[in-house]
Amino acid sequence: MRWLYGNLGYKLLAVGVAFLLWGVSHSSKPVQRGFDVPMVLRGVPDDLVVVEQSVTEVNVRVLGSRASLRNISAGELEYPVEVSGAKPGVLSLEVELAALDLPRGAQPVSRSPSTVKLTLAKRGTKTVRVKPDIIGEPAAGFELGEIGLDPPRVRITGAESEVLRLKEVLTETIDITGTSENIVREVRVSLSGRNVWLEETSPLTATVQIGQIVEEETAEADADAEETPG
């Protein structure tokens, strides 16, 4: 047993150094990590709109030391896609790993997909009427009166083919069920087209008048009373 305890301090030191060297070699060994990197379109021509995109992010495998990978903030990564000079139609682009901005010691080794496709269409713009979307019935004894919108028209933009088909747009639903008073409310426009947007996104002001129903017999009696000489 003397051999076991002899020079115990040196033996413990040797074990500690061995563990330290193992830890250093393990931490410096290159590893891989995957990141879902969002695509950012740059330079889209003013007269075009993107109506379809095959993917919105690219999965990238990055090789590097654990320290270098810890320096990568997934929330700050982006894959820029330059589309200046594009024409209407389908644009197929190769995913270039060199476009990624990575810290020193980290390098991209693969990506998926390898290509992205964008469909671009000619942009169209016009002004259309806004129609209020009213549902429900007022309280008993009341009826729906005039409805006003401010502004009554809005300007839309987007894929020209969809913009030209729209003659009017609806507001979000205004429920008047059981109402006995006028309604003044901010409402937003509800667009049905997938590739159509509002140029101005501020809400509209809707004024819905709710009036009391005047019984016909009462109205006639009042009219007769006014005609009868005093």
- Second CATH level (architecture) for the domain 30-113: Beta Complex (2.170)
Q: Kindly report, as residue ranges, where domains of CATH 2.170.120.40 are found in the chain.
A: 123-216
The pLDDT tens digits along the chain (230 residues) read: 454 445 555 555 554 544 444 454 445 578 888 899 999 999 999 999 999 999 999 999 998 888 888 888 878 889 999 999 999 999 999 998 888 888 888 888 889 999 999 999 999 999 999 999 999 999 999 999 999 999 999 999 999 999 999 999 999 999 999 999 999 999 999 987 789 999 998 999 999 999 998 876 554 555 555 555 54
- pLDDT at residue number 105: 81
Cα–Cα distance for residue pair 53/50, rounded to 1 Å = 7
Q: What is the pLDDT of residue 180?
A: 94
- List the one residue out of 58, 79, 65 whose CA is nearest residue 24: 65
The length of the chain is: 230
- The answer to whether the pTM exceeds 0.85 is no
The 3-state DSSP composition of the chain as helix, strand, coil percent (nearest 5) reads 25, 45, 30
Q: How much is the pLDDT for 19?
A: 47
pLDDT on residue 100: 84
Enumerate the CATH 2.170.120.30 domain ranges in the chain, comma separated: 30-113
pLDDT value at position 178?
95
Please, are residues 114 and 59 in contact by the beta-carbon 8 Å criterion?
no
- Please give the pLDDT value at position 182: 96
Task: Measure the CA–CA gap between 154 and 199, rounded to whole angstroms.
Answer: 8
pLDDT at 70: 82
CATH superfamily of 123-216: YbbR-like domain (2.170.120.40)
Reading the block at residue 42, the tokens are 């740059």
Alpha-carbon span 50 to 28, nearest angstrom? 44
Beta-carbon-side half-sphere exposure of residue 98 (alpha carbons within 13 Å): 1
